[in-house]
Structure 1
């Protein structure tokens, strides 16, 4: 690609160039929930750690909540402008290079770059797809190629998810079954690990939703954990003061 006659690296190449930059890397993702509007608050809170760099993945539905529809709804552009954000990625950034051998692949490079992946919010749809191994967008591609053993990238980074959905969705037996997979089959436990490393046998941590009045006016469990509490978990898992 080129811009004003200058060569511009692809998204995947840009990520690759920063893998060994000496910083702590938080890969922050959002799927389709109104709680996506909390992203800038989490990002801004992490600005107090000068060594933290953030890259963001948005699903198509998550991006729909970031169109400046109201004063509380930021824009994708405003996320990208925050000083500790090095990139905001959507599905169209995935395959911008030709599919030839040796070409850079964005979801692989994001996995290599990340010391932790935090999906906040995690929608019911993305939860279901993730548990069943589907990979039909950039976020799910990244989850599906995660180095769950640490034998490929030399680090066992964990994935933290903060579900956000309607109360009836959260109480549905399918949701309970899917959460059991994350906690019991893939679970990492709750102990802090070095740069997001899994402390238990797995690599997943679930931050359970809270009870409140939801955007749809239902009252019950299903709202994403308070953004400030999610930040505290990120800081603890990464060993940040």
Structure 2
């Protein structure tokens, strides 16, 4: 039975396959799998994370680690079938670990010990943030790193010079590892001029675009899956809702060239 994380620092457990072993990228470097770091920030759309995990569970060549911000955990506390507790994520065979903010520094750090946000960045081939809240978008574009998720993003290898490219036995997927985000927020927030300026940074300054040499779409590291228009949790009808979770799964399958055996 997976044990809960307790408030006392000496009893906290890193949620890596239910063990207390610290997570290191090196321990998984030769597993031959594609590594998906799936994250959720504080939005009602966090309740779609279990759907995404279930849809990806048949892919035995895919390993998944999950990051939840403190706000995101509020939506997955076992309130309903639609909102199961995060401990149920381990029912999916390819979920390697679930990480919360407090696990960044479980014990007083000593020189030579691993640093979780760096290890997760090294491990991941793709980071998908679904949902990306207005608050976390603002943090990312402003360069903040005040929780585990934003620390991973801030430490991302944006040049492709630090981490090896994502590859399997048949192909190199791309030189720069990607971050894919699915924004989710109220319509007024989505249409706000601040949001427009932040999206411009993600799509234009950091975004994946045509390479000047051959036109292939791999120049850049950020990909934005724009919201859809529907009735929002607040009752408003308009754009700002996270793109359908099935479309997010399709993007992950396409980017990783996933195929069922």
Q: Decide: shared fold, TM above 0.5.
A: yes
Give the conservation status (yes or no) of the 8 Å contact 2:35–2:126.
Answer: yes
Match of 2:198 in 1: 178
The 1:100–1:199 alpha-carbon spacing in structure 2 relative to 1, beyond 3 Å, is farther
Give the conservation status (yes or no) of the 8 Å contact 2:208–2:223.
Answer: yes
Aligned-partner Cα distance in 2 for 1:72–1:139? 24
Give the conservation status (yes or no) of the 8 Å contact 1:19–1:112.
Answer: no
The number of equivalent residue pairs is 230
Aligned with 1:229: secondary structure? Answer: helix
Match of 2:123 in 1: 113
- In the TM superposition, residue 9 of structure 1 has moved relative to its aligned partner by 4.8
Match of 1:167 in 2: 187
- In the TM superposition, residue 47 of structure 1 has moved relative to its aligned partner by 1.6
Give the conservation status (yes or no) of the 8 Å contact 2:57–2:92.
Answer: no
Does 2:227 align with 1:226?
A: no
Aligned with 2:195: secondary structure? Answer: helix
Where does the alignment leave 5 or more consecutive residues of structure 2 unmatched?
1-9, 13-18, 166-175
Match of 1:86 in 2: 96
Does 2:154 align with 1:144?
A: yes
Runs (4 or more) in structure 1 with deviation over 3 Å come to 8-11
1:131-155: CA deviation from partner (whole Å, max 9, x where unpaired):
0000000000000000011111122
Aligned with 1:200: secondary structure? Answer: strand
Give the conservation status (yes or no) of the 8 Å contact 2:36–2:65.
Answer: yes
Give the conservation status (yes or no) of the 8 Å contact 1:183–1:204.
Answer: yes
Does 2:44 align with 1:34?
A: yes
Where does the alignment leave 5 or more consecutive residues of structure 1 unmatched?
192-197
- In the TM superposition, residue 105 of structure 1 has moved relative to its aligned partner by 0.8
Match of 2:83 in 1: 73
- In the TM superposition, residue 28 of structure 1 has moved relative to its aligned partner by 0.2
Match of 1:100 in 2: 110
2:66 to 51, 56, 78: 56
Aligned-partner Cα distance in 2 for 1:16–1:209? 36
